[in-house]
Each structure stands twice: as C-alpha cells, then as structure tokens.
Structure 1
C-alpha cells in the first residue's frame, strides 16, 4: 500500500575504540534523517569495515521492515559511493510512501529534495544540470517503470540517447541528455522510419545551432545522438541501438489561419493542392 511504516529510529554507533554513541530520530521523516547520518558515517569511514545491523521491535511486519531498511541503506551506499569509496556524482531517488526523495552529494554533505508526486519529480529531472549527473532509482521505486530503469542504466555522458517503445496507439519516448537529464513523453503511433528520421533530424538541428552559437564563445564537446528501439517480452526488456537512420525528405506544407467567428481553422497547401477546412471539414488532415 506504499505506506512508510518506520516512525522512530534509535541509532547506536560503536567505533573501533569501543566508544558508543546514540541518537534518537522521532520527529519528521526519521528514515531519511537516519539515512543521511549513515551516509555521512560511510564518507568518514572511507571504505573501512562498516557493519550495519537493523532490528525492529514492532509486532507488525518487523522482519519485513528490517529487511527493507537494511537493503535501502546498503543500496544507497553502493550507488552514492564508487569502488574507490569516493562519493559519486549521481542523483539517487527513493520512493517513500507516495512521495519521492532525491539524494545527491554536495560540498561533502548529502542533500535531500522532496517531491510529493511523480509528475513533480519528472519535471525536476528535466532540469538542465551543469555537469553529468546520472539518475538511479531505488529498487522499490516505480517498479512498473522497467523501460525507464533500463534506459537509465545505459546512460552515458556526451551522448543524447532516445529510447522508444511502440504501444498500441502511441510511441513512448525516454530522452536522456548529455548531462543525465530525463525527458519522458509520447508521440502518436506512426511509421518507425519516419519517426526515427524526424527525431534524429530535430536533435541534429538543435546541436548544429548550439555549435554555431558556441563557436563564438568557447569550444566544448558536442554530444552525439543515439536511438534505441525497446521491446518487452515475457517480462524481459530488450534494447537495440539503431545503427542506420534513413533521413527522409519532407515536403513543405503551408498553413493559413482563418477565423470563423470565434473558432480558428487552418487551410493547408501542399504539392500544388489546397486542403481547405471548408471543403474537407473533419477529414482535412486525413486528406492532407
């Protein structure tokens, strides 16, 4: 039911000198407060032996709570620290109840941002970052977003990656920019080669314009564009990088706006023929 069952936490720390310290968390989001303290201890420990013991004395689902808290803390540690035990530049997202918390390291501290809904979270993840900051979700957050998690695991710097999935009536798109930013959306279902050509041409044009504007200021590394077809079979996600994209020629269509009272309509002209709203009505686009 996505309920957070952790209410209070007692943190007891025993160091290698035999000293014991204790802190009680009982106000606010206690689990996140304790996780923050745990990550700071991990940073101070710098890779030394560090055992974590979790005990829950509730009469309701005690073992499940123990396992979940321990798994969460260990996973946060593995994501936010590299093999050399140095802090990684990464955004780690935890699902807590119906809310989400984004954790990232800044100035030797671990910062938390709260997002009340999934829509607000995705709006934040679209924001441009100044450096490469990949996104990782905790294993229990957005469990149904298997394609998204697969795409995020394949994210690379200096590369704009477009992952697309054909559904019955639309195409789901997941776009990761060169800084790890995420844009999630959909397009009406259409011919795959036309979609590939349109998306690739659009992004290439954006990069060409950016390169022209950058040339007057400084020389930076320009990202390249990669498209991936994604499919799902029996619960498994399969990705295939599109190695050949045929750029299709587009015929120009001219649109003329007309008001009929307070209603706005368009008349179109293409390939030497007119497609007026007066003549075609609701079948105008189909005819065009």
Structure 2
C-alpha cells in the first residue's frame, strides 16, 4: 500500500473512532446524520430515587407531557445518573431542540424551569448544531479541546439551608469561594462539557470537597502539553448568587490560563472556605497543594527551590493575614527581610533569591537587636555563596539584602510596609555568636559541630548534650544575669550540599533548628543563675 492510502485508511479509522467509539464520559451519537429530524415536541424530565442504589438519584427523559403520577408507568427514552449528561445527550442527538416543550419533575433537586431553559441554551450555544465537518488535517493530529463549558451548581442551591430557614443573608464578605462569616464555598459542583477537535462531546462532573479545584487542575493539565487553547465559558443558573458565582469562577479560569501562557514555574494561591490551595505550573504538569491553616501554608511556601518561581495571589486570598503584604513584594536576585514588631515578640519573614518564604516569631528586645543577627547571618551565607563562584571571567552579581517593616506595630493586621536601612553593626548586642558546621551522617542523619568563644563543641565529644554544654559555656561568660538569646551567625553546609549551592532559605531553616535547641538549653539553665 502506498503511504497516501495508508494515511487515508488512518484518517477513516479515526473518523469512525470519533463517531462510534464508546468511552467513559463521551456522549454517544445515536443519529449520525441518518434521520433528518428526531426532535420530540414534548418531553418530561424527571429526577427520581435510584432503587438499585438507595440514597442516590437519577434523571430520566420521557416522551410526552407526563404528570407526577404518570411517568412511573412509562419507560424512559434515556436515563443518566447526572442531569448534564442527559441534557448533553439529548441536545447532541437532536432529541431536544429549541422547539421542544419540557415538563419538569425536579424531585429532590433544586432545578427550576428557568435553570433548565438556560442550561439547554448554554449547550446549544457551546455545541452549535449541526457541527462543522472535521477536516482531514485535524484528524491527523491528536484531538484537543475546542470548546469547554463549565456549569456550576447544576440543580443545586448553594444556600438552600438559608432558604429553608427563611434567612436573608447580608454580609460584607461576598466572595463566592468564602462567603459570609462562616466562609462558605458556594461552588459545590462543576459539570464540564467539552467539544474536541474530532467533534466528540465529553461530559465530566466534579462534586464533593474541592470540586472546583480538581476541575481546574485537570483542565490545566489537559492544556499544558499543547499550544492550542480552547474557548472556556463558565455559566451558573442556580437559585442564589448565580451571576457572582459564574463571574468568580471565570476570573480564576482566566487568571490560570494567563499564567499558563507565561511559561513554567508560576504559582497561584487561591483560598476556598477554610483551605488554601497552591497551583504550581510545572513544565510537564500542573500540581495542586491543598493546605489547612497558616502554618501549613508557610511550610509549603518554604519548600526548597532551585530557581525563581513567581507567586501570584488571588485577590481574596489570605485577607486576614500579613502574608500578602510580604509575598507581593517578591523580586528576583535579592534577599528581602520583613519584620513586624508585636508586643513582646516580632515576626520575621525572609523571601530568598528563589522566592522561597521563611518565617519565624522571636522574642523582642529592640529593633536593632532583632535585625543585626539576621544581617550577620545572611552576609555570611552570601559570602559562602560567593566563595563557590569563580572570580574570573565574570563574577555573579552579588545579591542585595533589603529590609522593610510591616506597619502598624502591635496587634491587628498590618496595613502597609516601609523600607528600612540595614541594621548598624556597632550595636552592643546582648547575645552570643555561635558558628555551626553540619555534616552528613549515616541513614540521612547529620553531625553538628558548634564553635563558641573559639572553642569547639561536637556531638562526637558531648553526644546529645552538646547544646546544653554550649549553653553552659555561654552562661559562664555572661556579663550579667539578664536574659540572653543565642544566635547562629555562621553556618557551613558545604558537605551536605556537595556541589550544589543551597538557597538562603535552606540555611535559614537549619539556623532556626539549631537556635531552638540552643535556646532551650539556655532557658533550662537560666533559673539556676543568681543575679
């Protein structure tokens, strides 16, 4: 056979495959141009309990206009678990057209005639019949999505419990993903209808917790390997706040598509009810992390990176936190230190050269003594980075360290930030400098060696008592019985890193762990001091 004949056979095979192959979620075509018109004048749509699966329901489409007690005596034309699958089937096959009259028995659903009319209108607009014939050129390529229709809360009123109790909600918090004081997510289900380049129509339903997030992740993952972008439309016709819900979801879809167009390594933070979600647009896939609470988010944003990754915050994300003020300042090729003075403590934040976040709450003596140990540590890290770079022919640009203060100080939420100069090194500081070297040990463990007052203290010599021994050494050198903090001002990770250059945040993480152990030792010994 000639290559042309083989190609023709391949195209024919794909044409038949697209028309007749059955698979999950694909709408079966029962009338591929055979009968000119199979539209029904009058149909009855019924939701009823599924006797074979107690607790679940299904939808049936019946001939004629049947009353509430009549339909049970007839066999349906088609029955589906989900409404959208049934409507898409009826539309795609021409069973329902613009002249069909529908009687509705919504059962336990919240489906209204208004919503049903608009759902059918959306399907007719998104999948306009008759479909254009598929060209040979498109059949030679793998199928890609051309039209995506996202229908939110089909047959569901997200505020039904308020309606049942006759409660009228008035709230300033109108975000559809975090609504009112209880922060309800009003996006309960998403039905996705896709028409692809082979004219296949596919329906998928997302429900349960994080339905929208799973839908968005899978939609983005379907686009990540192709430059072709479908038209994505979002519609919602539910009983409460339908327009606001549709606009909110559409805004998020548009944002994520725009980030996808920028290239890999973009991140997007979205808050839905009590959870924070972080999308990461990697070169070959889109990942999604679902996080519960501030600490989990900080830990996630503090994960080690090896290249810069921009972070984009949804406009409603983290509104009760100081984090947006910090995260929105991210810049390449520098280290940024942010601090906020509270009553007897301070919050420190660092965004490193790869936009990794580090945060720590520390006791507060005064502003200078808060920042000077950080400055000294960061300068030592940068010196270690520089030492690993060749001097010739071109030395890498030296990373700058920038400081800013979150204002106002004290309790409540920070509203602004102001740049601050780097701390002066001539302060008389009430702390001791300790250098640390961390070396790799067996089974993923590490050996720590500490240097204080030019003396070496190692786990080899002191075992797990090394931190208490160093604390005792520090207290033995004290100038007064005041409260001291101990800071790591230099840290060597060269053996752990081998040939890699660890990010600044990695050094900061090790620094915090070591300081925690040292200061616990100090606190344990502090009561034994006499003024």
TM-score for the superposition, normalised by structure 1: 0.74
For residue 203 of structure 1, report the CA deviation from its aligned partner: 0.9
Matches within 5 A, 1:1-12: 1-12=182-193
Structure 2: how far apart are the matches of 1:74 and 1:170? Answer: 41
CA deviations over 1:87-145 (Å, ceiling 9, x no partner): 35222122233233221122343222233443223212111101001323322332112
Q: Say whether the 8 Å CA contact 2:264–2:283 is kept in structure 1.
A: no
- How many residues are matched? 268
User: Which residue of structure 1 lines up, in the alignment, with residue 242 of structure 2?
Assistant: 62
Q: Say whether the 8 Å CA contact 2:270–2:314 is kept in structure 1.
A: yes
User: Which residue of structure 2 lines up, in the alignment, with residue 269 of structure 1?
Assistant: 477
User: Which residue of structure 2 lines up, in the alignment, with residue 97 of structure 1?
Assistant: 273
Structure 2: how far apart are the matches of 1:281 and 1:175? Answer: 30
The answer to whether 1:246 aligns with 2:424 is yes
Matches within 5 A, 1:1-288: 1-13=182-194, 21-26=201-206, 29-39=210-220, 44=226, 50=231, 52-57=233-238, 59-78=239-258, 80-81=259-260, 85-145=261-321, 147-214=322-389, 221-232=397-408, 237-248=415-426, 266=472, 267-271=475-479, 282=527, 284=529
Give structure 2 stretches of 5+ with no counterpart: 1-181, 433-451, 454-467, 483-521
Structure 2: how far apart are the matches of 1:281 and 1:101? Answer: 43
- Structure scoring higher RCO (CA < 8 A, sep ≥ 6) equals 1
Q: Say whether the 8 Å CA contact 2:264–2:282 is kept in structure 1.
A: no
For residue 191 of structure 1, report the CA deviation from its aligned partner: 1.8
Indicate the larger mover: 226-235 or 130-139.
Answer: 226-235
Give structure 1 stretches of 5+ with no counterpart: 256-262
CA deviations over 1:22-60 (Å, ceiling 9, x no partner): 422235643123213444577656679x46332142x34
SS at match of 2:248: helix
Q: Greater share of strand residues, 1 or 2?
A: 1
SS at match of 1:200: helix
Computed over aligned residues only, the root mean square deviation of the Cα atoms, in angstroms, reads 4.0
Structure 1 residues 35 and 3 mapped into 2: Cα distance closer, same or farther (>3 Å)?
same
For residue 235 of structure 1, report the CA deviation from its aligned partner: 7.5
For residue 194 of structure 1, report the CA deviation from its aligned partner: 2.6
Structure 1: how far apart are the matches of 2:526 and 2:363? Answer: 21
Indicate the larger mover: 60-69 or 161-170.
Answer: 60-69
Structure 2: how far apart are the matches of 1:92 and 1:107? Answer: 15
Structure 1: how far apart are the matches of 2:220 and 2:243? Answer: 23
Q: Say whether the 8 Å CA contact 1:12–1:20 is kept in structure 2.
A: no
Structure 1: how far apart are the matches of 2:242 and 2:229? Answer: 30
Structure 1 residues 9 and 179 mapped into 2: Cα distance closer, same or farther (>3 Å)?
same
Indicate the larger mover: 31-40 or 90-99.
Answer: 31-40
Structure 1 residues 14 and 274 mapped into 2: Cα distance closer, same or farther (>3 Å)?
closer
CA deviations over 1:154-208 (Å, ceiling 9, x no partner): 1111111011111122211111010010012212222222323222112111221
Structure 2: how far apart are the matches of 1:88 and 1:56? Answer: 35
